[in-house]
Structure 1
C-alpha cells in the first residue's frame, strides 16, 4: 500500500475538516471510515416514510454556521446552503406559555417581556454584552488551547474588570445565570433549556455558559439548517476534499495504530491491511477507543491510563423521528414557526429531570428537544406535511430492552400530545433510535452519547479528555486526537479536527517541528510522571 502524508481515522465532520486543512497545505490525505458512508453524526436519510427526509443525529447548526473554522472552508462553493425556520426556538412550559427567540430582537424582547416587566430590555442588554465578545469568544472556543491571542484580544476589548466579570459568568450554573440576568420565567427557561443540549443540569457549575452561548447565537445568527438535509454539509466537506485529491476509503474499520519507537507510522484495518502515514495520523474517534483499543497501554504513560478510567461519557440518548401528514397541532400557536421547541419541563422540572438521570432513573416526564424540520426547510417533506424529531436523555446502561424503549417513546409522544392534541393521529411513519441503535449506526456515539464525553467543567479545557495540555497532541509522536473527545468538545463546529490538523502541521515544520515535539513531550512527562 502506498504511503500518504496523513491517515485520518474516521470520516465524521471533524475528520473531514482535518483532512481538508491538510490537503490545503499540500499534504496527501487518506480517510479511513469504518462504515459505508461519511458524516458520522452529520447525516440524513429517509427513515420514516417515502418523501420524508430526516437528519439522523444532529440537525440545527448555529455553531457550524458561525464557526470560524467552517467559514474558512467556504463550503458554500461546494453546494452547501442554509435556511431558517420563521422563529429560532421556543421553550414551551407545562402550563402552555412559551418564550421564543426570533432573529428580530424586538420580537424576542416582546416574548420575554410577557413574563416579567423589564425582561425585554434585559434581553437587549444581555445581547449587547454578547455582541461585544462574540467574535473573540468564537475564536477562543474554536482555536487550540490555550487561546492566547483571542484571550488577550478580549482583555483589550473589555478591560480587566469586565474580563473578570465575564470569567465569573462562564462558571455560573444555568439557574444562577438566568436569575442574575432576568426576572421572569420565560427568559430563564430559554437559557436553561439551551444548557440542556449538553448533559449538564441547571444546577451544575459551568452550565450557564452553554445556555448563554446557544441562546445568544440564536439571536445573532439563528439556528440554521442545511437546505436538503444535514448530509449536504457532509457532502460539501467530501466534495471539497476530493477536489484537492483527498481519498476516502469506506468499510475500513481501523483496528490498530501502528507505532514504532514511540511514533505513529500508520494504521491497520480489521482486514489486516496496513496503511502507512509519512507525517501524521489523526483520529476522529472517542478518546477511550483511540488510546485503550487502537494504541494500547504499552505506548501510554501509566498515569494517563489511570486517568482514562475516570473519563465520563455524556448522557445516553433516545431519538424518535416522525413523518406527519400535517403540521404539529400546537395549542399555543407561538411555537408553530419555531425550528426547535424545548418542552416537558419548567426550570424546576429540568432540575428534577436531571436529578433522575443522575441517580440512574428513567424520567416519568421526559424533557424533549424537538425539531420541526419542514418548518425550517420545506424540502424535507411533501407540502403541507412535517418531518419532525425529538430526543431525550436516559441513564447510561449496558443495554436497553425493546419494551423499555417503547414505553419511553410512549412517554415522549405523551409530552407532545399534551401540548398538541391530535399529534399522534398525524403520525404516518416513525423511526426510533435507542442508545444502542445510535452506536450501531455510528460507533463514535458510545452508549448513545452524542458529545464525545461530558460537558462538565472537570472534563473541559486542559481536563479534556483527561488532565493534560488540552491540545490534540498525544504521548505518541505524530498521533493527534481530532474528535469531539478533544477540546473544545461536542457540537458541529469542526474545531477538534482543525486543531488536530494544525498540531500536525506544527509538528512537521522543518525548522521548528522538533522543538515543538520536545516541548510537548516535556510537558506531558511533567503531567503523567
Structure 2
C-alpha cells in the first residue's frame, strides 16, 4: 500500500469529476483523480462496437446543455480539439400514423412543419421562441449554477418583472401535456415538447415535465442539439488533455472504497488499495447513495440523512442498441431523414401509456424510441453512404434483468424501426446491445442502467436533491463535496455538478472558509437534527 497526497482528490473521472478537477487545477491546486475503470469519461465515451469504421457513442450523444453550459464553455475545450457538428434537422417526432413534426434551427422551417398539424401553430411557435430569447441566458445560468441562483434570478426578475416572473414560475411546474395544450392547437407542437420531456423519467402528466420539454425544445431552436465531431469521446479527451496540461493526474483501475474521515473532516480516500491524502478537499463524482452509504458510512452521518436516503429514487433503467447500417435509414416518411434525433412512434396518449407501463413496473408492449442518426449528424462517424444509428428506450427501474427480457425488448425496438423504415433490418451489418447490466458494468455510476443520477421528479430537485437539504454540493462531512448528477441540478452533460462542487471547495479553502464551514455545519445540523 502506497500513500500519495494532493490538494484535492476527485473520485471518478466522469465528465463532472473532470470539470471539477480542471477548475481546481486552474486555481493552482494539485489534483489527483481516482477512477474505478480503465478509461475516463463515465457516460461520455465512444468506441467501435458494431463494425469496423463505425464510431459509436456508448452512452450520451447530443449536447444542447453542454453547448451552452457556463461550466463547459469557460474551459475553452475548443483549444483541445473539441469541434461541434449539426444534423440538417435538430429533431423529428414520428407519429404512429407516419406524420412527422420537425424541429429545425431555422424557425421558419419549424413553424411550417407545425402549421401542417394546425394552421396558426407556426405563429404560436414563433411567439414562444420570441418569448424564450430574452430569458434564455439567465434561465440557463439559474439552472446550472449553485442553488439558490441569486444573480440569475434577479436578472430574470428585472427583465420579466413580477408578473412575467410569476408566469414563468408557473410554466416551470406545469406537466408537459398541460403546457402543450396551452401553447398549441394541433398535435405537432405538443409532441415536440413531450418527446423532449421524456428524455427524463417524467411522464406527460408529471409536474415539471413542461419545463424540461420547453427547455430542450427551445435550446434546439436556438442552438440546435450539437454533437462533437468524431464522437462524444472528444469531450472527454479535451477535458483530460486540459487537466494533464495543468499538472492534474488520473489514476485508473483504482475503485474508491472509503473516504477517510477524522474529526468530522474528509482527509483523503482509499482507492485501489492505496491511500490518497487530501490537503484541502475530496470531491465525489459518484451517486449519492454510493458516497454516503458505501464510501462514508452511516457512522459519520446524521441519522436523519441516512433515513432520508431510504427515500432516494432512481430514474428508470435503460436499454440502448447501436446498429451499423450499410445505407441510410429508408424512412417511410422522408421528413425524418435529416434529423439528428428521432422520437419514434407515439402520440401524446401513447407517451402517457408508455409512461404508465413504466410506473407500473411493466415492459411496454410498444416502446417509445429515442434514436440518433449519427452519420447524418457527423459524416465521419461511418463510411460514406452508410449510417451509424442508435436507439434507446426506458425500462422500469430494476437492478436485475433477465437476458431473455432484454432480448425480447430489443426485438420490439427493431419492429418499431422496421415498421417506420421498411427494409431497416436488411441494412444491419452490426449490432451492439447494452442492457442495464452492461451499462452499469461499463460505468458503475449508471446503477441499474439509470442515466440521470436519480429521478428528475420535482420531489427530488433543487434543495430536495439528492435528499432534503441545501441544494448545494456540501455534505455533512467538512471538506467533502458531492460532484455527481445526484447533486443539483441533476443529469445531463453540462458539468454543472462538478463546477458547483469545485466552487464550494475553493470557498471552503479560502479566507472565509472557517465561517463558511460553520454556516454550512449549522444549516446541516438544523436540517438533520
**Normalising by the residue count of structure 1, what TM-score does the alignment of the two structures yield?**
0.99
4+ runs deviating over 4 angstroms: none
Partner of 1:7 in structure 2?
9
Distance apart, 1:128 and its partner CA: 1.0
CA distance in 2, matches of 1:99, 1:363: 23
Distance apart, 1:401 and its partner CA: 1.3
Residue correspondences, number: 527
SS in 1 for 2:4: coil
Q: Do structure 1's residue 235 and structure 2's residue 237 form an aligned pair?
A: yes
SS in 2 for 1:3: strand
Partner of 1:525 in structure 2?
525
Partner of 1:307 in structure 2?
308
Partner of 2:369 in structure 1?
368
Which of 74, 97, 111 in structure 2 is aligned with 1:95?
A: 97
CA distance in 1, matches of 2:487, 2:340: 29
Partner of 1:22 in structure 2?
24
Deviations 1:73-100 (A, max 9, x none): 0000000000000100010000000001
Partner of 1:431 in structure 2?
432
Distance apart, 1:400 and its partner CA: 1.3
CA distance in 2, matches of 1:101, 1:134: 18
Are the equivalent residues in 1 in contact too, given 2:4–2:275 (CA < 8 A)? Answer: no
Partner of 2:146 in structure 1?
144
CA distance in 2, matches of 1:245, 1:129: 45
Partner of 2:83 in structure 1?
81
Distance apart, 1:344 and its partner CA: 1.9
Partner of 2:167 in structure 1?
165
CA distance in 1, matches of 2:524, 2:378: 47
SS in 2 for 1:2: strand
Deviations 1:328-357 (A, max 9, x none): 100110110000000121100000000000
Deviations 1:484-518 (A, max 9, x none): 000000000000000000000010112x1100011
Deviations 1:121-162 (A, max 9, x none): 100111111111000011101110000010011000100000
Partner of 2:421 in structure 1?
420
CA distance in 2, matches of 1:68, 1:130: 18
Distance apart, 1:259 and its partner CA: 0.2
Distance apart, 1:404 and its partner CA: 1.1
CA distance in 1, matches of 2:496, 2:200: 17
Are the equivalent residues in 1 in contact too, given 2:399–2:447 (CA < 8 A)? Answer: no
SS in 1 for 2:292: helix
Which of 43, 46, 61 in structure 1 is aligned with 2:45?
A: 43
CA distance in 2, matches of 1:440, 1:398: 12
Distance apart, 1:270 and its partner CA: 3.6
Partner of 2:386 in structure 1?
385
Distance apart, 1:402 and its partner CA: 1.2
CA distance in 2, matches of 1:179, 1:350: 15
Deviations 1:203-222 (A, max 9, x none): 00111100000000000000
Partner of 1:513 in structure 2?
513
SS in 1 for 2:207: coil
Distance apart, 1:403 and its partner CA: 1.3
Q: Do structure 1's residue 482 and structure 2's residue 483 form an aligned pair?
A: yes
Deviations 1:282-334 (A, max 9, x none): 00000000000000001100000000000000000000000000011001101
**Is there any run of 5+ residues in structure 1 with no aligned partner, and where?**
none
SS in 2 for 1:188: helix
SS in 1 for 2:456: coil
Partner of 2:54 in structure 1?
52
CA distance in 2, matches of 1:59, 1:522: 41
Distance apart, 1:3 and its partner CA: 1.6
SS in 2 for 1:361: coil
- Write the mapping of 1:1-400 to structure 2, written as runs, cut at 5 A: 1-271=3-273, 273-400=274-401
Deviations 1:377-405 (A, max 9, x none): 01100000000000001112232111111
SS in 2 for 1:285: coil
SS in 2 for 1:35: coil
CA distance in 1, matches of 2:527, 2:139: 28
Partner of 2:451 in structure 1?
450
Deviations 1:440-488 (A, max 9, x none): 0000000000000000000000000000000000000000000000000
CA distance in 2, matches of 1:12, 1:517: 27
Aligned Cα root-mean-square deviation (Å): 0.6
CA distance in 2, matches of 1:452, 1:397: 14
SS in 2 for 1:497: helix
CA distance in 2, matches of 1:37, 1:328: 32
